[in-house]
Structure 1
Amino acid sequence: MSRLSEERTVATNSSIEWTEVTWNPITGCDRVAAGCDNCYALALAKRLKAMGVAKYQNDGDPRTSGPGFGVTVHPAALEQPRKWRSPKVVFVNSMSDLFHAKVPISFVRDVFDVMAETPQHTYQVLTKRASRLAKLADKLTWPDNVWMGVSVESFDAVDRIDHLRATPAAVKFLSCEPLITALPAMDLEGIDWCIVGGESGPRARPMDPDWVLDIRDQCMEAGVAFFFKQWGGRTPKANGRELEGRTWDAMPQLASI
């Protein structure tokens, strides 16, 4: 089997601290907010296209996307989780957004069906399209092994929390990464987990430590598990991930255990 084969039966191990593997039945996306400005997936898709990786040959709109990053569904990839021999914590669509308007609801349902039929795995789904998430929520069947999250990278995105709260997901989480503004006085009712991280890459925007401490304190007061991923910088690990002399790795209980 070619190393550039579109599908592999083994899990794609992830360097993301809060997950184990990634699963991409959809690839490609479009810019919708300031948090997308330095998207790692957009840059990676361009490289993968140049390498000849089959999943990344569909170009997106150059105004909002880029080479290899056109929204594309991959039905063959739906079978991948069934082939993993041991339970995994799975980040779904690290290279796309399941609730993108260009993803048919029939395919969203197919993804949810696979997650329901593989209860040994725990799936983490993250979206910036919180309004579509809310619109589709009652049209989907939500198994207990699905964690649903929204990106809340700036104060302008706080309304996504209300859309998330309206879903029946067993675990609801926030990804405040890349954190580019303060997020004071969030309503964390019904939220189980919060990830915070700074931006990385050559154009990384700085993150004020006071923003992080305030979110940490809000989580502690609300009883929300707090996970600090990184300070960010030129590279993801450039400035480490300690906050006040320690790491913060709290997570909800895994549904598959």
Structure 2
Amino acid sequence: MADKSSIEWTEATWNPVTGCDRVSSGCDNCYALTLSKRLKAMGAEKYQNDGDPRTSGPGFGVTTHQGALDQPRRWRAPRVVFVNSMSDLFHAKVPIAFVKDVFDVMRETPQHTYQILTKRSLRLSRMAEKLDWPTNVWMGVSVEDASALERVDHLRTVPAAVRFLSCEPLIGPLDGIDLHDIGWVIAGGESGANYRVMDINWARGIRDDCRDAGVPFFFKQWGGRTPKQLGRELDGRLWDEMPRRAV
């Protein structure tokens, strides 16, 4: 777990699960897959399990870490915590019993606000009624282009305090996206050696849809070879809107 995170929309990361598998075009240049390979080579304990080379890679096999569950309890000062920045909590290889363990920790540490992102929205929707959703959990889905819009419909069925979208890496337009029952939207371009360029009108379209719907909008980055290469301004300003945290 990182006490501080360079991700602009969170403050810390917590990884009780590591590893994943590609499921859509948004995964093509996955930063976590590349980082896991590097961490395995460095001998990092959590990244020694390899995934299927067709969909995953070295150090990126899905692995649960029982010993990491208690880490948020050691943080007394409130933090905004991105859960599983190096995995997907709703991956089919993560047992529901372990998902419930993660939710128990989040419920028992109400001083923190937890942000969870998934591309496995169907499993999320099917599992949601079996989970006890505390008010300090924000649940989101990744929506990289129009082919992923079904994930938004799945998310709407989840009784999270805040439902949010991460339109990053944004690799296609999402014109007229339905933001009913959505409480926050993040958008951003791809970064890395093989990054795909984001059209400015894709970002403007999401921003304008958010403004029309009264939904907070957060523009994370333009992307480039490095995340910060092209900056964060959209039409001459920063967009750092966020939902209110539960009190």
Is TM > 0.5 for Structure 1 vs Structure 2?
Answer: yes
**Structure 1 partner of 2:107:** 116
Partner amino acid, structure 1, of 2:151: R
**Structure 2 partner of 1:94:** 85
**Structure 1 partner of 2:215:** 224
Q: Secondary structure at the match of 2:129?
A: helix
Partner amino acid, structure 1, of 2:178: D
C-alpha separation between the residues in 2 aligned to 1:19 and 1:244?
23
Cα distance, 1:185 vs. partner?
1.2
Identity of aligned residues (%): 72
Aligned length: 247
Structure 1 unmatched ranges of 5 or more: 1-7
Partner amino acid, structure 2, of 1:229: K
TM-score of the aligned structures, taking structure 2 as reference length? 0.99
Q: Which runs of 4+ in 1 moved over 3 A?
A: none
Cα distance, 1:249 vs. partner?
0.2
Find 1:61's aligned residue among 52, 70, 74: 52
C-alpha separation between the residues in 2 aligned to 1:37 and 1:220?
30
Find 2:38's aligned residue among 47, 58, 61: 47
Across the aligned residues of Structure 1 and Structure 2, the Cα RMSD in angstroms comes to 0.7
Structure 2 unmatched ranges of 5 or more: none
Cα distance, 1:142 vs. partner?
0.2
C-alpha separation between the residues in 1 aligned to 2:107 and 2:161?
13
Q: Secondary structure at the match of 1:29?
A: coil
Cα distance, 1:27 vs. partner?
0.2
Give yes or no for the alignment of 1:134 onto 2:125: yes
Q: Secondary structure at the match of 2:234?
A: coil
**Structure 2 partner of 1:144:** 135
Q: Deviations over 1:177-224 (max 9, x none)?
A: 000000011110000000000000110000000000010000000111
Find 2:151's aligned residue among 154, 160, 173: 160
Partner amino acid, structure 1, of 2:127: L
TM-score of the aligned structures, taking structure 1 as reference length? 0.95
Cα distance, 1:12 vs. partner?
3.0
C-alpha separation between the residues in 2 aligned to 1:68 and 1:17?
26
Cα distance, 1:254 vs. partner?
1.1
Cα distance, 1:152 vs. partner?
0.3
**Structure 2 partner of 1:74:** 65
C-alpha separation between the residues in 1 aligned to 2:76 and 2:215?
32
Q: Secondary structure at the match of 1:203?
A: coil
Q: Secondary structure at the match of 1:68?
A: coil
Give yes or no for the alignment of 1:243 onto 2:218: no
C-alpha separation between the residues in 2 aligned to 1:66 and 1:131?
24
